[in-house]
């Protein structure tokens, strides 16, 4: 059944509330997807965003969707075709760098909660007018970082964000301390060298450290 914008945003907020950090994953080899997801979930990061930037991405979502305790989403959703492919692969939520009516329509029709991207007050207000109040702030650092997000939050306190793009262990706390931030997206918890080496214990440690950020 189709989902309403308000329900889509409510469900996206629930997923964002699972942990302070949502791993943003670029998976090159689907054979590594399941142990990667297992390590991240074991470390306390159950919500996983697999970006649709590689040929292996959809297969990676299929593998990760089978990991107990994980909630796997598809990132970099741009077109309705992306939405269809993500849902068929088992994605439980979607993430987009921005938002178009066509994309929002497709996600609602597919019953896929979406975290749509916004970088300005006007973009956030347009999404709020459509009943989306849980948004992705992207690109976070390039758009002014935590100070910019704090400033946007002053006149728009009813909107919450997941900042992504340039978030790191060095600045994550500055975002998570904001009243309008539920979680942040970060890629550092799954560095390419550790994934390639199959160092799942190392990734689990990074995830566990990230899960303690913001003292949540």
Q: Please identify which of the residues 63, 108, 136, 204 carries the catalytic annotation.
A: 136
Q: In what order do the strands lie in the sheet with 160-163?
A: 117-118, 134-137, 160-163
Give the ranges where the chain is alpha helix by DSSP (H).
5-16, 33-42, 57-64, 80-89, 101-109, 121-129, 145-153, 172-176, 192-197, 200-211
Beta bridge partners of 170: none
Q: Please identify which of the residues 49, 63, 108, 204 carries the catalytic annotation.
A: 49
DSSP state of 65: T
User: Is residue 176 within 8 Å of residue 214, measured between CB atoms?
Assistant: yes
Active site residue 196: no
User: Is residue 134 within 8 Å of residue 127, measured between CB atoms?
Assistant: no
User: Is residue 66 within 8 Å of residue 43, measured between CB atoms?
Assistant: no
CA–centroid distance for 82 within its chain: 16
Report how far residue 83's alpha carbon sits from residue 201's, in angstroms, rounded to the nearest whole number: 33
Active site residue 136: yes
Catalytic positions, written as ranges:
49, 136
């Amino acid at each position: 059944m189709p989902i309403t914008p308000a329900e889509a945003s409510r469900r996206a907020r629930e997923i964002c509330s699972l942990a302070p950090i949502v791993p943003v994953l670029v998976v090159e080899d689907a054979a590594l997807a399941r142990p990667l997801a297992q390590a991240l979930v074991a470390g306390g990061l159950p919500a996983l965003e697999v970006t649709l930037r590689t040929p292996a991405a959809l297969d990676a979502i299929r593998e990760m969707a089978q990991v107990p305790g994980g909630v796997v989403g598809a990132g970099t959703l741009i077109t309705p075709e992306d939405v269809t492919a993500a849902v068929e692969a088992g994605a439980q939520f979607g993430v987009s760098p921005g938002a178009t009516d066509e994309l929002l329509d497709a996600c609602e029709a597919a019953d896929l909660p979406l975290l749509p991207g916004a970088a300005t007050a006007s973009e956030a207000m347009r999404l709020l007018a459509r009943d989306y109040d849980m948004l992705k702030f992207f690109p976070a650092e390039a758009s002014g970082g935590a100070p910019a997000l704090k400033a946007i939050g002053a006149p728009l306190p009813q909107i919450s964000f997941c900042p992504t793009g340039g978030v790191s262990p060095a600045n994550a706390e500055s975002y998570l301390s904001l009243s309008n931030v539920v979680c942040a997206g970060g890629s550092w918890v799954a560095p390419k060298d550790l994934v390639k080496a199959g160092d799942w214990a190392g990734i689990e440690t990074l995830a566990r450290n990230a899960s303690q950020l913001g003292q949540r």
